[in-house]
Amino acid sequence: MTYVARLLTGTATVLALALPAAATEYRIAVRDGAGGTQEALGKAFVAALEEQSGGKMTGKLFLNGQLGDEQDTVTAAATGTLDFSILAINNITPFSPTVGTLTLPYVILSQDDAETITQGEIGQEMVDQTIEDAGVRIIGWGYSGFRVLTNSKRPVSTVEDLKGLVIRVPKNEIMIDTYKSWGINPTPMAWGETFAALQQKVVDGQDNPYMTVYAMKFDEVQKYITNLRYIFSIEPLIVSEALFESLSDEEQQQVLEAGKAATKASAEFLRSEESKIRDELVARGMEITEPANGEKEFIELATTNVWPQFYDQIGGKGELNKVLASLGRPAVD
Ligand code: MLT
């Protein structure tokens, strides 16, 4: 087991390095609570950054949104008032629409797909575009798994079952339109307000990966899970481009290498932990329902209605076709 894997699974006993007194400590915003993908990615990054820099650079994670809600941290990093942030890709899309390809429903169909796209040429193009559009640089990719639907009212297995449920979605047009394609008008809401809204029954449900449902303790306010696979959640680690540019070439390299190590650790973390977390949610009383007919109706409605609406925003149909080709799937005409 690698050092980072041991750290993530809690068997590493001490940090390998004693930090010099003059170590620079960066602030890393983490919206979710402990125990999920975001924290795991952040811990792996800090460990790798200390190792890469010989202890000259380190980072401190601020969990539970202490440094702001996800979309706000993009603005803060862009203006240089925040160093790093870990957040869901759907909360970067409003600032850099081309990463929207990663939020289009049913484009990424597995963890392998997610890793292929983000760690290859297309991922690098998205990194470059995000710097230009949003003033932040993606230096690592976290993988959280598929966004499953949760609600407090009843089991949902068909599109018809959704009718009458009030579902919170992020302020992300692609996700809003996906629910519209399934026949309901969802409620766009900032991530930080979601737990309270579920608890107070302002909304009945929401979607996020098992890892996030667990890290946010949604099992306390939600009963039913539908095992949807419409979006595979990718959670990038971003750095303020202004901060990155202020580093020496050597330090930039160390930050990038630490980001790569964190990406690798995140992929391992999801592979080893997701099913345990799912079992734990069931043990805590949640009920899992499979979508009817292999999710066929959800897939058909979303891909037919939503994809064409966003070709322009993601940079043209060609961008989607590039992604599909890299995954060995047929192009759309
Ligand atoms: C959201 O639903 O806004 C995000 O996916 C939450 C997260 O980052 O975990």
* For residue 108, pLDDT beyond 70: yes
Per-residue confidence (pLDDT) for residue 2, from 0 to 100: 37
* Residue with CA at minimum distance from ligand 1 atom 4: 88
Query: CB within 8 A of 242, min separation 6: which ones?
Result: 78, 79, 80, 135
User: DSSP character for 98?
Assistant: G
Please state the φ and ψ torsions of residue 201, each to the nearest 5 degrees: 60, 30
**Same fold across 3-144+234-271 and 148-230+280-304:** yes
Place domain 3-144+234-271 in its CATH homologous superfamily.
Answer: Bacterial extracellular solute-binding protein, family 7 (3.40.190.170)
| 301 Cα to the center of ligand 1, angstroms | 23
What is the atom index within ligand 1 of the atom nearest the CA of 170?
3
Per-residue pLDDT, 111? 98
State yes or no: pLDDT of 3 exceeds 60.
Answer: no
Q: With 50 as the cut, is the pLDDT of residue 12 above it? A: no
Task: Give the residue extent of every domain in the chain.
Answer: 3-144+234-271, 148-230+280-304
How many Cβ atoms sit within 10 Å of the Cβ of residue 225? 25
CATH 3.40.190.170 fits domain 148-230+280-304: yes
- From 86, 87, 208, mutation site for ligand 1 pocket: most ligand atoms within 8 A of C-beta: 208
Ligand 1 pocket test: which of 191, 230, 234, 270 has the largest number of ligand atoms within 8 Å of its C-beta? 191
Ligand 1, residues 32, 41, 91: which to mutate, most atoms within 8 A of Cβ?
91
Q: Sorting pLDDT into bands at 50, 70 and 90, what band is 188?
A: very high
Atom of ligand 1 nearest to the CA of 147: 5
Is residue 44 within 8 Å of residue 6, measured between CB atoms? no
Q: How far apart are CA 195 and CA 217, in angstroms?
A: 9
Residue nearest to atom 8 of ligand 1 (CA): 88
Q: Point out the ligand 1 atom lying closest to the alpha carbon of residue 37.
A: 9
**pLDDT exceeds cutoff 80 at 239:** yes
What does DSSP assign to residue 88? Answer: -
Q: How far apart are CA 274 and CA 280, in angstroms?
A: 10
Which pLDDT does position 236 carry in this prediction?
97
Q: Going by CA atoms, what residue is nearest to atom 7 of ligand 1?
A: 88
Mean of pLDDT values over 235-264: 98
Confidence class for position 11, pLDDT limits 50, 70, 90: very low
pLDDT value of residue 98: 87
Q: Is the pTM of this model over 0.85?
A: yes
Q: What are the pLDDT digits (tens) for 110-156?
A: 999 999 999 999 999 999 999 999 999 999 999 999 999 999 999 99
Distance 234 CA to ligand 1 centre (A): 10
Question: From CA 184, how far away is CA 150, in angstroms rounded?
Answer: 15
DSSP 184-225: ---EE--GGGHHHHHHTTSSSEEEE-HHHHHHTTGGGT--EE
Locate the ligand 1 atom nearest the alpha carbon of residue 91 and give its number.
3
Task: Report pLDDT for 21.
Answer: 63
Residue 139 near residue 266 (C-beta atoms within 8 A): no
77 Cα–ligand 1 center, Å: 18
What average pLDDT does the structure give for the chain?
93
Residue of the nearest CA to atom 5 in ligand 1?
Answer: 88
Q: What's CA 106's distance to the chain center, in Å?
A: 15
pLDDT digits (tens, 9 = 90+) for 276-306: 999 999 999 999 999 999 999 999 999 999 9
- Give the integer Cα–Cα distance in Å for 274 and 158: 24
Average of per-residue pLDDT across 309-321: 94
**For residue 160, is pLDDT > 70?**
yes
Ligand 1 centroid to residue 71 C-alpha, Å: 10
* Secondary structure (3-state) at 310: helix
Tell me which residues have their CB closer than 6 angstroms to ligand 1: 31-32, 70, 87-88, 90-91, 170, 191, 208, 212
- Tell me the mean pLDDT in the region 235-246: 98
